[in-house]
Amino acid sequence: MIKIFNSRREKLATEMQSGDLVVIFANEMPSMPVSFLQDKNFYYLTGLEIPKAIFLLEKINNKSVSHLFIERGIPEMEVWEGKKMTVEEARELTGIESVQYLDRFNNFISAKLPNMERLLVNIEHLNIDDVLDKRAKFAQNARERFIHLTFQPVTNLMKNLRMIKDEWEIEQLSKAIEITERGIRHIYSQSKAGDNEAKLQAMLHYEAIAANAKHMGFSAIIAGGVNATTLHYGENNCDIDENSLVLLDVGAAWNNYSADISRTFPISGKFTPRQKEVYAAVLAVQKEIIEMVKPGVTMQELNSKTNELIIKELKNLGLIKENSEFRTYYMHSIGHHLGLDTHDLADRTKPLTAGCVITVEPGIYIKEEKIGVRIEDDILVTENGYRILSKSIPKEIEELEELCK
Ligand SMILES: [Mn+2]
């Protein structure tokens, strides 16, 4: 494990210029004991799930050094918060030699910044009137006191690393997908007409929690009938009518890596002829686009091919006459990179390479017919083509009718 995080830090250093200092803050602990979610870049470079810590990577004269600052445990607080990680433990877990307690950070950084040229902080995108969080305040303080520095968000460097997954990351994604599959199969076999969408969500969460997944990758979309035509429907609180299709867009997370799967199935176990027609159209498009996935292809190419195929299908379904009308029934893009974030950091303009993981998720949404269909799989780009990581989650019409009846 240490090797993986070491090599990531080395890779990041190769992306850096001499005079660069990367500063990555861990997330704060929420005040109520809800489950802690780590900052994705902090996790990527340290593997640590502790709050408040700060990771630094400096590069001077082509030599790079990592530093880590962690919270010091207070004995009186142990009974509430448990024992905090010690400097020795953090050193052992991360392979970072220079580990100190946070109370040393201000002195350390004040001595360091005069010698640096560029500061790269993990700041989220903020609106002009947003209240500054700890990270943004740190950048503001540095800007006012060390006026020779230039500033960059660290995401510009991180996306080049994070868009290519190593073997360990593929394993985490596969595990997240496997847990999601359990939830989907539970829903296929146990849900029935009249159920509330919330009950289906409970089936999904039951399997995720039972598998010890600490959290979901994103909040589930469970949409029956016309609800499936609202792209970001998240209420999940309607009763599902007989003869409805149900659209699931769900993903558990494992070690912070998120699955992202969409399936659409008939609640009563039988597609109506029209539902079957629409479903078959989306499935055909999805399969053809997946076939295109290989190193060198761009997301834009996948997008324009999808649009072309969807237009053809919409004409066959009698929904449109002119090409330009297709956005009425298909409003989104074909997919995105997947990883620590469900919509993962990546340079979408770069061609895919081996190690990229993307989603392929075409859909057709016909509000007036109360039909919304989306089918989404998670695809690993390999040297020669692709591997469907979510291959074993049923999506063929006959399979669905068998599993859902
Ligand atoms: Mn998706």
Rounded CA-CA distance 285/279 in Å is 10
- Give residue 264's Cα distance to chain centre: 21
Residues forming beta bridges with residue 68, ordered by sequence position = 55, 99
- pLDDT of res. 125: 82
- For residue 28, pLDDT over 90 is answered with no
CA of 76 to the centre of ligand 1 (A): 45
- pLDDT of res. 81: 76
SS3 254: strand
CA of 337 to the centre of ligand 1 (A): 9
- For residue 120, pLDDT over 80 is answered with yes
CA of 53 to the centre of ligand 1 (A): 31
List the shell of residues around ion ligand 1, using CB closer than 5 Å.
260, 359
CB 124 within 8 A of CB 155: no
CB 373 within 8 A of CB 282: yes
Q: Which one-letter amino acid corresponds to residue 275?
A: Q
CA of 232 to the centre of ligand 1 (A): 11
Mean pLDDT over each residue of the chain, to the nearest integer: 95
CA of 240 to the centre of ligand 1 (A): 23
DSSP 217: S
SS3 11: helix
Check residues 270 and 77 and name the one with the higher pLDDT. Answer: 270
CA of 92 to the centre of ligand 1 (A): 36
Which residues, at least 6 apart from 312, have a Cβ–Cβ distance to it below 8 Å? none
CA of 219 to the centre of ligand 1 (A): 12
CA of 402 to the centre of ligand 1 (A): 26
Q: Which of 354, 233, 349, 244 is nearest to 299 (CA)?
A: 349
How much is the average pLDDT of 356-380?
Answer: 98
Rounded CA-CA distance 206/79 in Å is 31
CA of 376 to the centre of ligand 1 (A): 7
CA of 79 to the centre of ligand 1 (A): 42
CA of 335 to the centre of ligand 1 (A): 6
CA of 260 to the centre of ligand 1 (A): 5
CA 319, 378, 297, 310: dihedral to nearest 10 degrees? 0
CA of 32 to the centre of ligand 1 (A): 30
- For residue 369, pLDDT over 70 is answered with yes
DSSP 349: T
CA of 142 to the centre of ligand 1 (A): 38
User: Could you tell me what percent of the chain has a pLDDT over 70?
Assistant: 100
How much is the average pLDDT of 339-343?
Answer: 96
Rounded CA-CA distance 335/184 in Å is 20
Binned at pLDDT 50, 70 and 90, residue 390 comes out as very high
CA of 368 to the centre of ligand 1 (A): 24
- For residue 31, pLDDT over 80 is answered with no
- Compute CA distances 219 → 249, 312, 315, whole Å: 9, 33, 34
How much is the average pLDDT of 269-286?
Answer: 97
- pLDDT of res. 395: 98
CA of 375 to the centre of ligand 1 (A): 10
- pLDDT of res. 30: 79
CA of 251 to the centre of ligand 1 (A): 9
CA of 336 to the centre of ligand 1 (A): 7
Binned at pLDDT 50, 70 and 90, residue 33 comes out as low
Give the domains, in start order, of the chain with CATH numbers: 2-162 (3.40.350.10), 167-404 (3.90.230.10)
CA of 379 to the centre of ligand 1 (A): 11
CA of 263 to the centre of ligand 1 (A): 11
Counting every residue, how long is the chain?
405
Read off the pLDDT of residues 15-25 as tens digits, 9 standing for 90 and up: 999 999 999 99
CA of 388 to the centre of ligand 1 (A): 14
How much is the average pLDDT of 321-330?
Answer: 96
CA of 30 to the centre of ligand 1 (A): 27
CA of 356 to the centre of ligand 1 (A): 15
Rounded CA-CA distance 397/260 in Å is 21
User: Mapped to the 3 state alphabet, what secondary structure does 277-319 carry?
Assistant: HHHHHHHHHHHHHHHHCCCCCCHHHHHHHHHHHHHHHHHHCCC
Read off the pLDDT of residues 198-247 as tens digits, 9 standing for 90 and up: 999 999 999 999 999 989 999 999 999 999 999 888 899 999 999 999 99
User: Could you tell me what percent of the chain has a pLDDT over 90?
Assistant: 89
Burial of 61 (0-12, 13-18, 19+ CB in 10 A): exposed
CA of 222 to the centre of ligand 1 (A): 14
Burial of 390 (0-12, 13-18, 19+ CB in 10 A): buried
CA of 338 to the centre of ligand 1 (A): 8
CA of 40 to the centre of ligand 1 (A): 18
